[in-house]
Amino acid sequence: MKDRDAIALISAAVTKPGGVWADLGAGSGVLTRALATLLGPDGTVYAVDSDPESLRELDRSTGSGSTPMAMVRTIIGDFTGPLDLPPLDGALIANALHYVPYSDQPAVVRRIASLLTQAAPLVVVEYDRTHVNRWVPYPITPAALTALTRDAGFGTPAILATQPSRYSGTIYSAIVRR
């Protein structure tokens, strides 16, 4: 995904510059960079991933452009477990929740909710598909996301944007608040 496509997917969720956010399951960071760009130099993004090499790639790719960005702090960790993060003004989980078994997803979303300040948004980017493959073993359609987030005490998710996936189907972004 190109940086401009990542920004287009999540820009409607970042309504003001600054703040403390987390990108959970950051990978090599295309959406982390998009979030850091949208937050600007007064923000902080905690990029959490269990793959140290992906986070090293993210570290190499941030701060080298001409656009002022939020500070990105990489953390090697598993977003499905406890995380030592400050209270968050928002959280992004992009193309990562579909790796969590269905039986564990409610607990993971509740744990993420516990990290957020009261009005903070949770932004989810996922593939809108029902068929399983090795890259998307537990697909989360928008309808499934609605049930999952309601179970965790959130309201109804609102779809922000969609894009064709280069792997077939569609990618969607959604925002949900308590």
Provide the domain count of the chain: 1
CATH number, domain at 157? 3.40.50.150
Q: 140 pLDDT exceeds 70?
A: yes
- Tell me, rounded to whole angstroms, the distance of Cα 170 from its chain centroid: 17
Burial of 68-102, coded b for 16+ CB within 10 Å and e otherwise, reads ebbebebbebebbeebebeebbbbbbbbbbbebee
Question: For all residues of the chain together, what is the average pLDDT?
Answer: 93
Contact indicator for 177, 14 with CB cutoff of 8 Å: no
Domain range spanning residue 32? 3-176
Mean of pLDDT values over 75-89: 96
CA distances, 89 to each of 44, 92, 122, 141 (Å) = 10, 11, 9, 25
Q: Give pLDDT, residue 2.
A: 84
Mean of pLDDT values over 137-147: 95
Q: Give pLDDT, residue 83.
A: 94
Q: Give pLDDT, residue 63.
A: 62
Tens digit of each residue's pLDDT (9 = 90 or more) over 26-81: 998 999 999 999 999 999 999 999 999 999 989 888 766 667 899 999 999 999 99
Report the distance separating Cα 53 and Cα 55, nearest Å: 5
